[in-house]
């Protein structure tokens, strides 16, 4: 199941809030740009979410279309097991990858992944233009990528909040 319902109670007024979290990993393959865009929050993806991502990644590679990937994360990164499964799917290919995150911990993980793929680079959120340049995205492609990031962010974060 990709969603969880959490209940929070305030001690002063005691309203009961229902918060639905849709996913800890969201992604879209933009075939026209040959670009996989993914968004992760601060917690690592579940294995089921990661498997869905790898399925999409595999299909993009098999179609011969995937040549670049944009990853935006608030600190989450693949576990060692997930990294191993991703390496298997990538199969020696070296797509251009831009990872956007402010997490120092993540930068270390990305530097390890860069040993396998020299086309991987990590960028601070303030370096968005440099990340897009790394992926050779035109201004119109950048706008589409930014809109996709925002859509994924909305999809991943709080989908509904209602007071009971």
The angle formed by the CA atoms of residues 143, 147 and 152, to the nearest 5 degrees, is 145
What pLDDT score was predicted for residue 155? 87
State pLDDT tens for residues 44-96: 899 999 999 999 999 998 887 778 999 999 988 888 899 899 889 988 888 89
Q: Which two tokens stand for residue 103?
A: 């997490």
Query: Sign of torsion, CA 23 111 102 143?
Result: negative
Rounded to an integer, the average pLDDT of 124-129 is: 92
Cα gap 100→71, rounded to integer Å: 6
pLDDT over threshold 50, residue 19: no
Rounded to an integer, the average pLDDT of 39-45 is: 90
Rounded to an integer, the average pLDDT of 126-133 is: 94
pLDDT over threshold 80, residue 161: no
pLDDT interval class at 139 (50, 70, 90): very high
Boundaries of every domain in the chain: 24-156
The Cα-based distances of 73 to 41, 91, 92, 139 in angstroms read 6, 24, 24, 22
The Cα-based distances of 152 to 19, 26, 58, 123 in angstroms read 18, 6, 20, 19
The Cα-based distances of 90 to 17, 20, 54, 59, 71 in angstroms read 42, 33, 9, 11, 15
What pLDDT score was predicted for residue 66? 79
What pLDDT score was predicted for residue 22? 53
Domain 24-156: give its CATH architecture: 2-Layer Sandwich (3.30)
Residue 104: strand, helix, or coil? helix
Select the more confidently predicted residue: 113 or 146.
146
């Amino acid at each position: 199941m990709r969603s969880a319902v959490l209940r929070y109670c305030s001690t002063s007024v005691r309203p009961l809030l229902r918060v639905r979290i849709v996913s800890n990993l969201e992604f879209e393959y933009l075939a026209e740009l040959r670009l996989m865009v993914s968004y992760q929050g601060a917690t690592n993806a579940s294995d089921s979410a990661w498997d869905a991502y790898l399925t999409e990644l595999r299909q993009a590679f098999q179609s011969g279309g995937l040549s670049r990937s944009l990853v935006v994360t608030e600190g989450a990164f693949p576990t060692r097991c997930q990294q191993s499964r991703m390496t298997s799917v990538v199969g020696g290919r070296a797509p251009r990858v831009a990872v956007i995150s402010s997490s120092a911990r993540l930068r270390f993980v990305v530097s390890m992944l860069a040993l396998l793929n020299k086309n991987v680079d990590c960028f601070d959120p303030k370096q968005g233009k440099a990340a897009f340049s790394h992926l050779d995205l035109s201004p119109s492609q950048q706008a589409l990528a930014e809109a996709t990031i925002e859509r994924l962010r909305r999809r991943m974060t709080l989908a509904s909040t209602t007071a009971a």
